């Protein structure tokens, strides 16, 4: 994989990086083509063994959701690189809440690690990244979302397969249709399982007879995530990866896998300057700042989401939940000469002057851009929505 830049292409992470959509933002709209597709799909589903009562109950309140099509078509756009991604996934707020929920549920996490062998803090970090520890599980009706995307056709076969799996879940009785909610693409519950993954790996850990990943109780969802990672080949007690200093001579080797001994010969050391640990082979991921060596368990995390940023985000968050500090290395200023601390200050000063930036994490989403533009307009400046050193100086006056 090439070096991760500050403006990197991300697939499938928009739900994490944007404010969660409320169900009322995704109301069904009349669509005759969709209705005709549902009728044809009903015939196919019944031929594949779905009972009429299950299908009809699932679709009783389902409908066409144009907003999910907009989300799906936007997935290939350039979003955020490693610095911004970590500012979100491993933020101080997410770390603090992670440590709090880990302490509150330490017995459950210990049971999960004993049963599945997956590092408890990694399971907690997956929970934190996927749904902010259950606070952002998604409230969009899954049947409506999946049927809309299957009808739309860009990835019709994939989404129809997910829809069939969702109907099997309903037939099994794990959840009622009105409780089967999730993200815009059908990912469900605390750990955002898609229906096919749910069918293969969800478990009833609390023994109530249902594999309930939607409940306020995260037990089954966390156990299901641990089960999935264990089945993917997690090695008990081994690390996911490590931050490294990457000399210029090795920066062109991002994506390459070599033995740790070979990486040492190329001049790589730990992020804090120490010696690399002995863990067989590892894949190098580079960025404009820190580099990372991903070991076998990092590859396993990639089964959950193949993005190197996701792997690093979960890994860094898990390390910090376990008590570790932040990264040993920083990132260089952005193209406009601002560091992350500068960008945070821009947001803080805009907020203090009455502009809504949406967050104060140094990540400039649409609301921060609009706030910058509003401030520029108020002061009679060219409206660019771009933060520069001059803009920060003006905010400081």
344 and 226 belong to one structural domain: no
- In this structure, the answer to whether residues 23 and 161 fall within a common structural domain is yes
Indicate whether 129 belongs to any domain: no
36 and 181 inside one domain: yes
Distance, CA of 281 to CA of 358 (rounded, Å): 42
Instruction: Report how many domains make up the chain.
Output: 2
33 and 151 fall within a common domain: yes
Determine, yes or no, domain membership for 260: no
> What range defines the domain where residue 345 resides?
340-396
Do both 212 and 350 map to the same domain? no
Q: Is residue 346 part of a domain?
A: yes
Of 231, 263, 295, at which residue does a domain stop? 231
How would you classify the pairing of strands 140-141 and 291-294?
unpaired
Going by C-alpha positions, the residue among 90, 126, 105 that lies closest to residue 227 is 126
Kindly state whether residue 242 falls inside one of the protein's structural domains: no
Query: Are residue 226 and residue 346 in the same domain, yes or no?
Result: no
- What pTM was estimated for this model as a whole? 0.92
Tens of pLDDT, residue by residue over 195-246, are 999 999 999 999 999 999 999 999 999 999 999 999 999 999 999 999 999 9
| Residue 217 shares a structural domain with residue 348 | no
pLDDT digit string (tens) for 325-335?
Answer: 999 999 999 99
Residue 397's H or E segment, with its range, is none
* Residue 213: predicted pLDDT: 98
Interior/surface letters 106-143, b for 16+ CB within 10 angstroms, e for the rest: eebbebbbeebebbbbbbbbbbbbbbbbbebbbebbbb
* Same domain? 43 vs 176: yes
The domain boundary residue, chosen from 231, 247, 262: 231
Q: What does the alpha-carbon distance between residue 37 and residue 31 come to, in Å, rounded to a whole number? A: 10
* Cα 150 from Cα 167, distance rounded (Å): 14
CB 229 within 8 A of CB 113: no
Residue 292 belongs to some domain of the structure: no
With CA atoms as reference, report the closest residue to 166 among 231, 213, 226, 224.
213
Q: Assess if residue 147 is contained within a domain.
A: yes
User: What is the phi/psi pair of residue 284, to 5°?
Assistant: -90, 130
For residue 19, give every residue at least 6 positions away whose Cβ sits within 8 Å of its Cβ, in sequence order, or none: 358
Last residue of a domain, one of 171, 205, 231: 231
- Does residue 82 lie within any of the structural domains? no
Q: Tell me if 192 is assigned to some domain.
A: yes
Assess whether 218 and 361 both reside in one domain.
no
Instruction: Check whether residue 220 and residue 365 sit in a common domain.
Output: no
At residue 79, the pLDDT reads 62
Neighbouring-strand partners of residue 188: 182, 193
Per residue of the chain (397 residues), what is the pLDDT tens digit?
445 543 333 333 444 544 344 555 678 999 999 999 999 999 999 999 999 999 999 999 999 999 999 888 765 444 678 999 999 999 999 999 999 999 999 999 999 999 999 999 999 999 999 999 999 999 999 999 999 999 998 899 999 999 999 999 999 999 999 999 999 999 999 999 999 999 999 999 999 999 999 999 999 999 999 999 999 999 999 999 999 999 998 989 999 999 999 999 999 999 999 999 888 899 999 999 999 999 999 999 999 999 999 999 999 999 999 999 999 999 999 999 999 999 999 999 999 999 999 999 999 999 999 999 999 999 999 999 999 999 999 999 9
Are residues 225 and 357 located together in one domain of the fold?
no
CATH code, domain with 68: 1.10.8.350
């Amino acid at each position: 994989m090439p070096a991760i830049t500050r403006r990197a292409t991300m697939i499938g992470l928009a739900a994490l990086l944007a404010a969660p959509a409320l169900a009322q933002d995704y109301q069904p709209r009349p669509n005759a083509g969709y209705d005709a597709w549902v009728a044809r799909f009903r015939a196919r589903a019944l031929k594949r063994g779905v009972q009429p009562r299950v299908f009809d109950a699932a679709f009783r309140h389902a409908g066409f959701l144009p907003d999910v099509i907009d989300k799906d078509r936007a997935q290939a756009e350039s979003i955020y690189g490693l610095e911004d991604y970590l500012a979100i996934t491993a933020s101080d707020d997410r770390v603090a809440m992670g440590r709090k929920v880990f302490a509150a549920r330490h017995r459950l996490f210990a049971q999960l690690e004993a049963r599945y062998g997956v590092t408890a803090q990694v399971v907690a970090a997956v929970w934190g990244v996927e749904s902010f520890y259950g606070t952002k599980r998604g409230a969009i009706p899954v049947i409506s979302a999946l049927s809309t995307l299957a009808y739309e056709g860009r990835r019709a076969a994939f989404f129809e397969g997910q829809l069939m799996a969702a109907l099997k879940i309903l037939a099994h009785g794990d959840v009622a249709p009105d409780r089967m909610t999730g993200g815009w693409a059908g990912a469900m519950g605390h750990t955002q399982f898609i229906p096919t993954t749910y069918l293969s790996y969800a478990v009833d850990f609390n023994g109530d007879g249902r594999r309930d990943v939607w409940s306020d109780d995260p037990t089954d969802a966390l156990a299901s995530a641990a089960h999935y990672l264990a089945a993917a080949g997690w090695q008990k007690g081994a690390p996911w990866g490590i931050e490294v200093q990457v000399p210029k001579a090795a920066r062109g080797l991002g994506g390459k896998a070599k033995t740790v001994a070979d990486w040492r010969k190329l001049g790589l050391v730990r992020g804090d300057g120490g010696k690399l640990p002995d863990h067989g082979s590892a894949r190098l991921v580079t960025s404009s700042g820190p580099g990372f060596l991903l070991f076998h368990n990092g590859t396993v995390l990639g089964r959950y989401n193949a993005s190197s940023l996701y792997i690093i985000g979960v890994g860094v968050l898990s390390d910090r939940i376990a008590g570790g500090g932040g990264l040993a290395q920083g990132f260089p200023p952005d193209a406009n000469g601002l560091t992350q601390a500068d960008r945070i200050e821009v947001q803080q000063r805009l907020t203090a002057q009455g502009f809504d930036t949406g967050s104060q994490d140094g990540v400039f989403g649409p609301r921060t851009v609009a706030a910058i533009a509003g401030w520029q307009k108020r002061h009679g400046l060219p409206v660019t929505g771009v933060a520069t050193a001059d803009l920060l100086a003006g905010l400081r006056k």
